[in-house]
Every structure is written in C-alpha cells, then in structure tokens.
A and B are shown apart, each in its own frame.
Chain A
C-alpha cells in the first residue's frame, strides 16, 4: 500500500501514547470521508456514521499506543471503525429511530453536470446497495466504492480472500438483478 506523508509521520510515533493533533488532523483529511462512507454504508444511518467516524479518530488519538505498525495506519483505522460499527449494529442501537422515522439515504449532492436521469439512477443504485445483506454490502463498499484490493479486505475482515471474492460475486449478482429489474 502506498504510504502517505501523514501516514509516515504517524508511523514515527509508533509506540507513542497519542497522535499529535497535526497528524490527527491530517489523518482526518485523508481518511475521514472514506471512513464515514464505509460506516454509513454499513449502518445505513447518517447520524450513526457521523458519531462512529468521529469516535474512530478520538480513539485513534487516545489509544495510539495500541497501533503496533503490523498493519497500515489506514487498515488500523478501518479496524477501529469496523469494530465500532459492528458493536453498534449488535446492540441494534439506533438513537434516532422514533416510530420508524427512517433516516433515509441522503439526497444526491447536486452538481451542474449531473443530468436528472443520472441522479435518479445514482439514487436507485445507492438504495439497491444499501439493501444488500451486511456481509455482501461491506465487501462491495470496500472493493468497488472505496477501491480496496481483495487481499486488504480479507485482512480487515480476517477471512480468506476466497470468501471475500465469493461475497463480492454475490453482491454483484444481486445488484445486477435488481438493476435489470429497474431498467426493464
């Protein structure tokens, strides 16, 4: 994996108690969006994704000594994010659900060049992906949306690479089916 300047400076701190604030700020710039999107894809809840993503960096700062450099800093941050997300999902805690006031996926950000049709398709795809079973959704998000190599996903999930491939295949198949239904 390519190591960024921010990562390199953080690696010098391997064994230190905390990340300094400059490095932490750099990590938030670098991985904040990705981590929040991953958590959002997993929880399907904007609010939870915000809370958990923030907590990931707070924990990274306060417990930096637990980073041993065995994985990349990015994988370490995603491991924290994943553990926190799974804990949240296990406790099934959704803070803001009140009589099924479902938190709907956020609206597409409007950009001038997006056609209405594209926006509609984009939103439909998003809904299809968010409706995938968790295991398939997670692998899909990491590989297709975030661009992670399969081997890294296998490391993060602590499963064989073949399992990742199989989940990805199933995710693609389901999306393909649903997409064709919508197209027809």
Chain B
C-alpha cells in the first residue's frame, strides 16, 4: 500500500468514530423502555377477572337503575330527569417550544414539546423550500401529480452513481412541465411511503405529505407545504404523529388534530397571531391514567372510555370553541 494509504489506514484504525458512543443516557433509556414494554402483571390478571367483574357490575347496576326499591332515592338524586349536558371548558395556550435553525441536529434525548408528541422543536417551521436541482442531474424514478399543487418527483442523484444510493423527494409547482429545475425537498420515503393530497390548514390550502409508518416507535409523520405569494413553496408545519385537519370549532379556519400513539394524547392546534396554540383533549376531559381517548375524524367527535369500562362518551367542540360538550 502507498504511503498515503498507510497514512489513512492509521487514522482509521485509531478510531474513526470515537466520538460516537453508547452513552449512559442511552443505557438508562434502554432500561426505561424495557420497563415500559413489559406488561404489568395486573393486565394479564385482568383478562381473567374481567368477565366476572362485568357480570357483577351489571347486577349492581340492574339493582340500582331497574329494580325499584331501597336504592330508588339514590338513583333519583344521581340522575335528575332533565340532566344538563356534560361539558368541559376548552381553552388554548401558546406553544412554548424551541425554534429549529437550519443545520441544527435534533437529538432523541431532546425533550418532546408536549407529552407524547415527539416533535423536539416548534412544528411551525414556516421555512421556504430553497434547494433546487436541475432535472439533468437526477435519474427520475417516478412522478405523481397532485391537483392544486404540482407534481411530486421521486429520483436519485446521478452524482451518487450507485444503485443503492438513496432516493429523494421533490416537486415542481403547478403545470410546470418542461421546466429544467425542481424543488429538492427530502428523502425518497416522502414519495415511496407517503400519501400526497391537498387539504386546508389554518385557513389556507396546503399539500399534505403523510407517512403513516414513519418513526421507529410507530408514529406517523405529516408535512404540510403551502405556496406563498411569490409562488414559492414553504414547509409550513410538520408533526411527528398522526395529523388530521378539520374546522372542529366551526370558525371557518381549519385546525390540525394530532393524535399520538405514545401516551394516547390528542392535541388540537390552532395558529393564532403567527404562533401555534394547543389544547390537550386528554386534559380537557380530565382523563386519568388508563382512560382511553380517541378522535373520530368523520364526525369531528372526541371520545373517552374510562379505564375498566367499555362505555364511550362522545364530545363535540361547541359554543364557538369554548367547550367540549357531550353529545352521546
């Protein structure tokens, strides 16, 4: 081997990635995650006792509500004939999260911006897509038109040269067929594994790139791109969890409802005065550990199933977005 060769070999053998280590924090996270993934004993036991418990609960409820008798007065007090609807005050608070700067590394050890929501920085990026590439510099693998936005592109950089080199995602805006350049946006998974559709967020049209299998923890990701006044694309907002758009409070402006697998959280995000504001449906409904909350996008309803029961209570945002009111 040449002198130059032995020179680099020496560097390589001395420890090329010596700064990349398995840290104590990672060790702690491994143990923490193992503890979390192991089912607690009572869950297994619950499977055995549940049928008996349900039967017993039915008998007690029958005694209380069906059979007239000694419990009649208690029942009348608990359930007035004209019970007012159950409702909970709903308010939003400004999201207090760090703003990501280009080039900044995002670490898993950074805290989540909200419980269960894996974003580490403010999801409201509002960053122009500035990278452009020449079509002559790429091998185009596939294209997908999205009405109202442009054409999605899947490609490989010719400079990479190898079949195993990564693929990328980009787009051209509008009917710009024949253009020699396009916007270079992200890796190929944003084409291959994602759905692309037009939607509306915060009162404006947006391209939604949704990847249902995205994170290693199973969460989805959703990127929303808008086209700004000068016909320039912008990454407006991005959530690392399942995201749906709906005008939940009927004010004519679409909110983003973010549903996390982790910690079973549901957040409603609004953009007010250029900042994200959020409300936690779990908090609003006073859900306890073990209670399950869900969002029913077709109906725009939220539901809660208290731990140990199978009865759902459904809520809708009402009174100009100030309350969650039970509808059934």
Contacts and interface: CB of A to CB of B under 8 A. Distances in A.
Interface stretch (B104-112, B245-253, B304-312): B104-112
Interface of chain A, helix or strand or loop or mixed? helix
Interface-centre pick from B15, B17, B30, B130 (highest chain A CB count, 10 A): B17
B7 A179 contact: yes
Given A33-B22, A99-B235, A179-B7, A54 B29 contact: yes
B106 A47 contact: yes
A52 B22 CA distance: 11
Interface in B1-18: 1-2, 4-5, 7-9, 11-13, 15-18
B193 A40 contact: no
A61 B238 CA distance: 34
Given A88-B216, A93-B189, A180-B4, A145 B37 contact: no
Interface stretch (B65-73, B158-166, B271-279): B158-166
B100 A61 contact: no
A172 interface: yes
Nearest to B161: A133
Contacts of A41: 17
Interface in B90-126: 100, 102-109, 125
Contacts of A21: 31, 34
Contacts of A88: 216
Interface of chain B, helix or strand or loop or mixed? loop
Given A50-B26, A98-B235, A122-B11, A92 B17 contact: no
B192 to A, nearest CB: 7
A58 B164 contact: no
B36 to A, nearest CB: 10
A106 B20 CA distance: 8
Interface residues on B, range: 35 or more
B301 interface: no
Contacts of B17: 37, 40-41, 126, 145
Interface residues of A, number: 63
B21 interface: yes
B187 A97 contact: yes
B147 to A, nearest CB: 24
B193 A176 contact: no
B178 to A, nearest CB: 25
B31 to A, nearest CB: 7
B211 to A, nearest CB: 8
Given A47-B108, A99-B127, A36 B240 contact: no
A100 B129 CA distance: 9
Given A21-B31, A101-B103, A53 B22 contact: yes
B151 interface: no
A164 interface: no
B100 A135 contact: no
Contact of B37 (A58, A135, A172): A58
A128 B21 CA distance: 20
A92 B22 CA distance: 23
Interface of A: 21, 24-25, 28, 32-33, 35-37, 40-41, 46-47, 49-55, 57-58, 61-62, 88-89, 91-104, 106-109, 118, 121-122, 125-126, 128-129, 133-135, 144-145, 147, 172, 175-176, 179-180, 183
18 contacts: A25-B31, A28-B22, A32-B26, A35-B22, A46-B105, A50-B26, A89-B166, A92-B166, A92-B189, A93-B214, A95-B240, A98-B238, A99-B127, A100-B185, A101-B103, A106-B20, A144-B13, A145-B17
Given A58-B33, A92-B189, A133-B162, 9 more contacts: A28-B26, A54-B33, A93-B193, A97-B187, A134-B162, A144-B13, A176-B2, A179-B8, A180-B4
Interface of B: 1-2, 4-5, 7-9, 11-13, 15-22, 26-27, 29-31, 33-34, 37, 100, 102-109, 125, 127, 129-131, 162, 164-167, 184-189, 192-193, 211, 213-216, 221, 235, 238, 240
Q: Which 4 A-B pairs have the closest CB atoms?
A: A32-B22, A92-B189, A109-B19, A37-B17
